[in-house]
Amino acid sequence: MNRAILLLAACAGLWAQNVVSPEIAAGSRVTFRMAAPKASEVLLYGDWMPVGTTKPMTKGGDGVWSITTDALPPSVYIYHFVVDGVTMADPVNPRMKLRARTSASLLEVPGDGHAVWQPRDVPHGTVEINYQKSKVLNGETRWVWIYTPPGYAASHKKFPVLYLFHGSNDTAGGWVLAGHANFVLDNLIAEKKAEPMIVVMPFGHAVPFGSPRELQAKNTPAYEQYLLQDVMPMVNAKYRVETAKGKRAIAGLSMGGGQSLTIGMNHLDLFSAIGAFSAAVPQGLDAKIPELKKAAPLIWFACGKDDSLFARSSELDQKLTAGGVKHTWRPSEGAHTYTVWRQYLAEFVPLLFR
């Protein structure tokens, strides 16, 4: 009896391993599959869909659920399944989208190889993961992902540095794993459109993700101190970085965009450029207008018109314009996804350290 059960389990495991998902066909149509013979419902969500929507998958006679999309434009997408109400990553896709809570899967629809986020035959930089015990955050050991440009190891020169932040429920690796920030930098540097630079990507949740609202309100102040007292001293000590104000920039997406605006404007003596992509723009930034006019940092922010945060960026543009603060506001098509954030990064980086 037990041997029969083990045999059936082994066969089921082999059967599930034969499932291919995702599968990209001609015309960039993508088929997703999920082996779940006992499930009563399996849904697909992908970040190319409107937020909050899902599409039902169809169950085959072999217990494999499937769905085929219309043609998807070249990009790296995030998707997950919902199996009888339980959200889960695609179990047969090794490309994972790590999150602070739960995980999803990554789908890359390749283009012609010329997109700025795609790896090209150019010199590549290096991405390192640094582990650091935080003095500010109760001795917690945290990771910081750091990109160094091509030729860094063989060089003796110092480099400017961009501090680049992820969004809510993401991790320090988000900008690399889903955003391909390293390839964006490689390609821009190879084309001499951007200065070679170091990019520092810390973990942005200084308080645990999912904490009560009153604790979440303390996240940015705690993260600010973590950045200033832990991350930046570590970077200055371990890497050859320029420490002059004009050689240091700060940027981020969503939650990280709000953090970059707050921290950058609180420390105009440290940062000469501030970028915010689809930012969770905080209240009260108009109080910084006199300081911004005096310090005149490079301020660049963008948001997709289908993004729920679009109005907050548009309002920031109006306040800065009324206050006479020079800045660039870049409304675009698109929603709250890495598809637009990769493009924003590619537009922002060439403006730095010139």
Average pLDDT for residues 168-183, to the nearest whole number? 97
Sequence-separated (6 or more) residues with CB below 8 Å from residue 264 = 250, 271, 274, 297
Q: In the structure, what pLDDT confidence band is assigned to residue 11 with cuts at 50, 70 and 90?
A: very low
Among 290, 255, 257, smallest CA distance to 274 is for 257
**Where does the pLDDT of residue 16 fall: very low under 50, low under 70, confident under 90, or very high at 90 and above?**
low
Contacts of residue 196, defined as CB under 8 A and 6 or more positions apart, other chains included, come to 149, 150, 151, 152, 159, 189
Mean pLDDT within 31-37: 97
Instruction: Report percent pLDDT > 90 for the chain.
Output: 88
Residue 26 has pLDDT above 90, yes or no: no
Query: Which pLDDT belongs to residue 9?
Result: 39
pLDDT band at 10 (very low <50, low <70, confident <90, very high): very low
Measured CA to CA, the distance from residue 285 to residue 45 in angstroms comes to 35
Q: What is the pLDDT of residue 5?
A: 39
- Alpha-carbon distances of 233 from 45, 87, 120, 132, 167, rounded to whole Å: 41, 39, 33, 11, 23
Q: Tens of pLDDT along 232-244?
A: 999 999 999 999 8
Average pLDDT over residues 203-208: 95
Q: What is the pTM of this model?
A: 0.93
- Mean pLDDT value across the chain: 94
For position 3, what pLDDT does the model report?
54
- Residues 137-144 have a mean pLDDT of 96
pLDDT at 1 over 80: no
Q: State the pLDDT at residue 4.
A: 42
Omega of the bond leading into 22 within 30 degrees of 0 (cis): yes
Please provide the size of the chain in residues: 354
Query: Does the pLDDT at position 7 exceed 50?
Result: no
For 295-318, what is the mean pLDDT? 97
User: 240: exposed, middle or buried (C-beta count within 10 Å: 0-12, 13-18, 19+)?
Assistant: middle
pLDDT of res. 6: 41
- Degrees, nearest 5: CA angle 273-99-71: 90
pLDDT of residue 167: 97
- Provide the terminal-to-terminal Cα distance of the chain, rounded to the nearest Å: 73
Residues 306-326 have a mean pLDDT of 97
Q: What's the whole-number mean pLDDT along residues 139-164? A: 97
pLDDT at 46 over 90: yes
Strand partners, 33: 66
Q: Please check the confidence at residue 79 and state whether its pLDDT lies above 70.
A: yes
> What are the structural domains, with CATH classification, of the chain?
20-109 (2.60.40.10), 126-351 (3.40.50.1820)
**Mean pLDDT across 294-308:** 97
Q: How far is CA 40 from CA 27, 48, 88, 92, in A?
A: 31, 25, 15, 20
**Closest among 296, 297, 259, 265 to 277, alpha carbons compared:** 259
Rounded mean pLDDT, 24-53: 95
Mean pLDDT of 64-92: 97
| pLDDT at residue 57 greater than cutoff 60 | yes
Q: What is the pLDDT of residue 189?
A: 98
pLDDT at residue 274, as a whole number: 98
pLDDT at 127 over 50: yes
| pLDDT number for residue 8 | 36
